[in-house]
Amino acid sequence: MTNYKKYISKMISDAIQVDENEVVTFIETPKDKDNGDLAFPCFRLAKILKKSPQEIAIDIKEKIDFDKKIIDKVEIINGYINFYINKLNKTKELFQDIEKNSEYGKSDLGKGKNIVIDYSAPNIAKPFHIGHLKTTVIGGALYNIYKYLGYNVIGINYLGDYGTQFGKLIEGYKRWGTEYDLNENPIDKLADIYKRINILCKEDENVLETCRENFRLLEQKDEYSVKLWQKFKDLSIKEFKKIYDLLGSKFDSWEGESQAASKTEEVIEILEKTGKLVESEGAKIIDLSDKGIDTPCIICKSNGSTIYATRDLAAILDRSRRYDFDKCIYVTSYEQKLHFKQIFEVAKLLGIDEKYTNGLEHVEYGMVRLPSGKMSTREGNFVKIEDLLNETITEAEKIITDKNPNLENKEDVAKKVGIGAVIFNNLATSRVKDEVFDIREMLNFQGETGPYIQYTYVRTKSVLDKLGYLPNIEEINIENLLDKYSQNIIDIISNFQDTLIQVISKSEPSILAKYLIDLSKAYSIFYNENKIINENKDIQNARMYLNYITGNVLKKGAELLGIKMPDKM
Ligand code: ARG
161 within ligand 1 shell (Cβ under 6 A) = no
Instruction: List, in order, residues 6 or more apart from 85 with CB less than 8 Å away.
Output: 4, 37, 38, 70, 71, 72
Residue 450 lies in a domain: yes
Residue (of 511, 555, 512, 546) closest to 526 by Cα position: 546
Our CA dihedral for 70, 73, 74, 80, rounded to 10 degrees, sits at: -100
One domain for residues 403 and 533: yes
Identity of the residue numbered 215 = F
330 within ligand 1 shell (Cβ under 6 A) = yes
Residue 107 lies in a domain: no
CA angle 311, 315, 317 (to 5 degrees): 120
Number of domains in the chain: 3
Ligand 1 atom nearest residue 340's Cα: 11
* Structural domain ending residue among the three candidates 307, 334, 369: 369
Give pTM, 2 decimals: 0.94
- CA 348, CA 356: separation in Å to the nearest integer? 9
Tell me which of 240, 332, 333, 361 to substitute to probe ligand 1's pocket, judged by most ligand atoms within 8 Å of the beta carbon: 332
* CA 515 to ligand 1 centroid distance, Å: 30
* CA 123 to ligand 1 centroid distance, Å: 8
- CA 91, CA 53: separation in Å to the nearest integer? 33
* CA 160 to ligand 1 centroid distance, Å: 6
Ligand 1 atom nearest residue 330's Cα: 8
The pLDDT score that the predictor gives to residue 475 is 84
CATH code for position 198: 3.40.50.620
118 within ligand 1 shell (Cβ under 6 A) = yes
One domain for residues 429 and 499: yes
* CA 358 to ligand 1 centroid distance, Å: 20
Q: Please give the residue range of the domain that contains residue 551.
A: 385-561
312 within ligand 1 shell (Cβ under 6 A) = yes
One domain for residues 456 and 517: yes
Residue (of 131, 64, 549) closest to 334 by Cα position: 131
* CA 245 to ligand 1 centroid distance, Å: 21
123 within ligand 1 shell (Cβ under 6 A) = yes
The pLDDT score that the predictor gives to residue 382 is 63
134 exposed, middle or buried (CB, 10 Å; 0-12, 13-18, 19+)? buried
Residue 109 lies in a domain: no
One domain for residues 183 and 313: yes
For 259-293, b/e burial (b = at least 16 CB within 10 A) is bbbeebeebbebbeeeeebeeeeebbbbebeeeeb
- CA 390, CA 243: separation in Å to the nearest integer? 10
One domain for residues 267 and 308: yes
The pLDDT score that the predictor gives to residue 375 is 44
Nearest CA to ligand 1 atom 6: 121
* CA 332 to ligand 1 centroid distance, Å: 7
The pLDDT score that the predictor gives to residue 163 is 86
One domain for residues 390 and 491: yes
* CA 328 to ligand 1 centroid distance, Å: 14
Q: What element of type H or E holds 166?
A: helix 165-176
The CA radius of gyration of the chain, in Å to the nearest whole number, is 28
One domain for residues 309 and 403: no
Residue 395 lies in a domain: yes
Residue (of 445, 397, 394, 404) closest to 424 by Cα position: 445
One domain for residues 330 and 389: no
CA angle 514, 249, 152 (to 5 degrees): 80
- CA 134, CA 140: separation in Å to the nearest integer? 10
Residue 554 lies in a domain: yes
Ligand 1 atom nearest residue 332's Cα: 7
Residue (of 416, 362, 419, 398) closest to 135 by Cα position: 362
160 within ligand 1 shell (Cβ under 6 A) = yes
One domain for residues 319 and 457: no
* CA 122 to ligand 1 centroid distance, Å: 7
One domain for residues 198 and 299: yes
Nearest CA to ligand 1 atom 5: 121
* Structural domain ending residue among the three candidates 85, 103, 134: 85
Residue 38 pairs in a beta bridge with 83
The pLDDT score that the predictor gives to residue 380 is 46
Residue 126 lies in a domain: yes
One domain for residues 361 and 460: no
Residue 108 lies in a domain: no
Nearest CA to ligand 1 atom 1: 160
CATH code for position 430: 1.10.730.10
| Inter-CA distances, 64 with 50, 84, 87, 191, 427, Å | 20, 15, 20, 71, 44
Nearest CA to ligand 1 atom 4: 122
- CA 401, CA 19: separation in Å to the nearest integer? 60
457: Cα within 13 Å, side-chain hemisphere: 26
One domain for residues 537 and 415: yes
Residue 407 lies in a domain: yes
The pLDDT tens digits along the chain (569 residues) read 889 999 999 999 999 888 999 999 999 999 988 899 999 999 988 888 889 999 999 999 999 999 999 999 999 999 999 999 999 999 999 999 999 988 999 999 999 999 999 999 999 998 898 999 999 999 999 999 999 999 999 999 999 999 888 999 999 999 999 999 998 889 989 999 999 999 999 999 999 999 999 998 998 999 999 999 999 999 999 999 999 999 999 999 999 999 999 899 999 999 999 999 999 999 999 999 999 999 999 999 988 888 999 999 999 999 999 999 999 999 999 999 999 999 999 999 999 999 999 999 999 999 888 766 444 434 445 678 999 999 999 999 999 999 999 999 999 999 999 999 999 999 999 998 888 889 999 999 999 999 999 999 999 999 999 999 888 888 899 999 999 999 999 999 999 999 999 999 999 999 999 999 999 999 999 999 999 999 999 999 999 999 999 999 999 999 999 999 999 99
* Structural domain ending residue among the three candidates 65, 85, 105: 85
- CA 309, CA 346: separation in Å to the nearest integer? 10
158 within ligand 1 shell (Cβ under 6 A) = yes
